[in-house]
A and B are shown apart, each in its own frame.
Chain A
């Protein structure tokens, strides 16, 4: 494990040094990434410029959801986002080259073309989260304060597991990348908004089928002290870490199974 982390760090450092050969480009691209990510905040601000409360939530509360979701997704994207390119490597045959190297193929794919520009995604997330924490109408208790880092970490792990899981699906369905974006990027978009906006069955789907509701919604119900529209037991609000472990385990199993059954496309 320690060896894997060391290897990951080494490869990331190599890619960062490569990107840093063009420092102006690197900084500008990071800024541009920050602005593009920030467009989602602009949308939320515009929505609330037209109505003080939407679906029972005020702007700071929705921004709290945005901040936690964007931070969790941003970190997971930095760490594992490039696993979505597995299908490309299978098609090009470059996965075969990775398999003969003495480093885990997952680490190789995850660090490939690791670009510091992606850190730009964290800028709006951190700023908005700080704003939301200062402005949301929350009766802070030690438990609520502790829940914030816990939910960000669990959310990151859930998204990380989903990246690997949807990536591993490309071992079987090589063309599925287009659709897996609805789970990863779609999930990132969905969790920016309160689930009270969406239809009941839709929320059930993202609670029990693809557990996106545990990224930030369920813990946020605890932090913001809100009733659950699905009426799930209160324990669900504290279930995020357990769900994160489950999703990551599922991702790991799927990845290993995919790798074991992988037969090169041949020549």
Chain B
């Protein structure tokens, strides 16, 4: 346990080492936030209070998604993949801490760095230019918890994809499939409240909803009391399931791994 806070810290340091690069990325996130906000406003102009959102909620939602792109790494990928490909993972498996715990700590560090550098600009710009629903203090506290859980769910999914490397030797196929799922079912492309009927119900229950839709709804104050606890429990449940699956696959991978070379 003692080493994991350091792994977190070095992950954080590594991902805050190039602030200029992160700033330019967040500039693009902000631009996309603007364009998507206009598109959503046009829809809400025709359908006010669609899915229980006011126009101001839709716009705020849109900028939250842009702020969360970096932290929950919606486009997927993890450094572990490359280490499995080139065999460095053997070193990771030597370590006196578990593979999954090590990479979770590293990923939480990365997410924290990304949150610090990339979340601010889109939220700030959105709040200045568009009608914006700032969160109440208690919602902000809940949002912090929801974001940590969202990153954990995202890690759980990406870790499973990365471990697929042990069997497939190439992660691009899996990567592409999960990219489609995570972009579409997280609320990244459109808020899930726009999805009609059954599709919307299913989308709300899938783990990808825990990455963006749920934290955004917490930010907007759509949950109170027991509902809020339920939303966080939904995220925590998916995180637990995915981490447990990850632990099982790690065990199997340990038996599977053959390190080539001398």
Contacts and interface: CB of A to CB of B under 8 A. Distances in A.
A198 B40 CA distance: 10
B25 A186 contact: no
Contacts of A185: 28
Interface residues of B, number: 38
The majority secondary structure among interface residues of chain B is: helix
A54 interface: yes
Given A25-B170, A47-B194, A35 B180 contact: yes
Interface stretch (B138-146, B158-166, B171-179, B213-221): B171-179
A39 B45 contact: no
A153 B180 CA distance: 29
Given A50-B46, A54-B46, 20 more contacts: A25-B172, A36-B180, A42-B184, A46-B196, A49-B196, A50-B196, A51-B46, A54-B42, A55-B42, A175-B18, A178-B21, A178-B22, A178-B23, A178-B26, A182-B30, A186-B35, A189-B35, A190-B35, A197-B38, A202-B34
Contacts of B39: 47, 193, 197
B201 interface: no
Interface in A34-58: 35-36, 39-40, 42-43, 46-47, 49-51, 53-55
Contact of A28 (B31, B32, B173): B173
A207 interface: no
Contacts of B47: 50-51
Contacts of A202: 34, 38
Interface in B54-70: none
Given A35-B180, A198-B38, A176 B43 contact: no
A179 B27 contact: yes
A144 interface: no
A32 interface: yes
Interface in B152-209: 170, 172-173, 176-177, 179-180, 183-184, 189-190, 194-196
B50 interface: yes
B180 A53 contact: no
B205 to A, nearest CB: 18
A239 to B, nearest CB: 23
Interface of B: 18, 20-28, 30-32, 34-35, 38-39, 41-43, 45-47, 50, 170, 172-173, 176-177, 179-180, 183-184, 189-190, 194-196
A29 B172 contact: yes
Interface in A58-115: none
Contacts of A196: 42
A50 B20 CA distance: 40
